[in-house]
Amino acid sequence: MRPRLWRGLALLAVFALMGAACSDNSSTTAGGSSSGVQCNPDIKIGLALDVGGLGDKSFNDAAKRGLDKAIADGLVCEENTKFIEANSTGSDRDQNVQSLADAGYNMVEGVGFAFSPGINEIAPDYPDVDFAVIDGYATCGTACGLKNDKLTNVADLTFREQEGSYLVGVAAALKCGCDTIGFLGGQQGIGLIEKFEAGYTAGALSVNPNINVLVEYIGTDETAFNDAVKGEALSTKMYDEGAEIIYHAAGASGAGLFNAAVKAQKYAIGVDSDQYLTASPEQQPWILTSMLKRVDVATYNAIKQTGEGSFITGPQVFGLAQDGLDYSKSNTVALTPHIMAQMDAAKQNIISARIVVPDDPTKI
């Protein structure tokens, strides 16, 4: 090889290193992930996070974990990814989605049902962009009061939250051996959080048919998922009224439940992510388990499909049978083998359809 060519290659290597050092993701060079795995440089992936943003220890963090795993596995290069956090009211959701589409991201995911109306309107203007909506109903179209039908580039990634909630309802009733437990919901009236409530109640009733489930919701708009102060107040109220264990489906507001559990010295159950792992040392002993909603799995799958050119549009549903839900086992002191055995038995009965879990608390 001629000396001039060697010098040219050396300069290219230096420029590549300089570019990587100056990028937002300085640990990743072009064509390689931060783990050293060769990555796919041909796609760009953007996440539009919902209210609460990173650090919510819930569904936003779970979506980011899905993206991080995709990077680690080489499905996308880290420098070709971006996430944008919504403001405290979520009023900039559509703007964030559109900015990612305008910037040429091949797949844009809205992390939360509230992205559905905006993506329903935006998607037709970007036919070459894949859009995914966690808990979405964007593809429901005019039947759901939205503008556009027959979207060809949108996937609604939904979950049978009632199935995973049934399992932690079983755990709650077994652990306390009591007659009163509680449920803390985020936004009321949208049908989504009611699925958590229904499954939890049904699971608890399967153990103790006489159990009473106290129910509190934080609010009727999206800000209900980002109000830890009210979450703590309502949780304290239920503990004072006799609840021995409280399960929350309230996003970042659930942090208030864990504070209340420590003060009451009573158990709590987390949601979406394994919240034992991100809790403080004084909170951990009181977090019995968490209902794992595998937003990370749904996000990872959507990224993989985009990279393979096989993006699946329309509604996709993740239940226990699709590994879309589970429960955490981190608190090995509180969550005994006896409790887990009965939770696992219920899980298999749900997968085999011997148990059909209700999704509406008014129909239990």
DSSP 8-state symbol, 312? P
User: Which of 35-39, 174-178, 266-270 shows the lowest per-residue confidence on average (mean pLDDT)?
Assistant: 35-39
How far apart, in whole angstroms, are the C-alpha atoms of residue 273 and residue 277?
A: 9
Task: Look at residue 12 in the predicted model and tell me its pLDDT.
Answer: 34
CATH number of the 35-159+297-320 domain = 3.40.50.2300
How far apart, in whole angstroms, are the C-alpha atoms of residue 93 and residue 116?
A: 10
Domain boundaries, the chain: 35-159+297-320, 161-292+332-363
Burial of residue 308 (CB within 10 Å: 0-12, 13-18, 19+) is: exposed
Model pLDDT for residues 230-267, shown as the tens digit of each residue: 999 999 999 999 999 999 999 999 999 999 999 999 99
For the stretch 237-276, what's the b/e string if a residue is b when 16 or more beta carbons lie within 10 angstroms of its beta carbon? ebbeeebbbbbbbbbbbbbbbbbbbbebebbbbbbbbbbb
* CATH homologous superfamily for the domain 161-292+332-363: Response regulator (3.40.50.2300)
Task: Give me the residues paired with residue 290 across strands.
Answer: 270
Is the pLDDT at 3 greater than 90? The verdict is no
Six token digits for residue 350: 């749900």
Q: Do 35-159+297-320 and 161-292+332-363 have matching folds? A: yes
How far apart, in whole angstroms, are the C-alpha atoms of residue 290 and residue 270?
A: 4
Task: Look at residue 302 in the predicted model and tell me its pLDDT.
Answer: 97
Nearest by Cα to 250 from 47, 52, 48: 52
How far apart, in whole angstroms, are the C-alpha atoms of residue 323 and residue 303?
A: 17
Model pLDDT for residues 91-113, shown as the tens digit of each residue: 999 999 999 999 999 999 999 99
Is the pLDDT at 36 greater than 70? The verdict is no
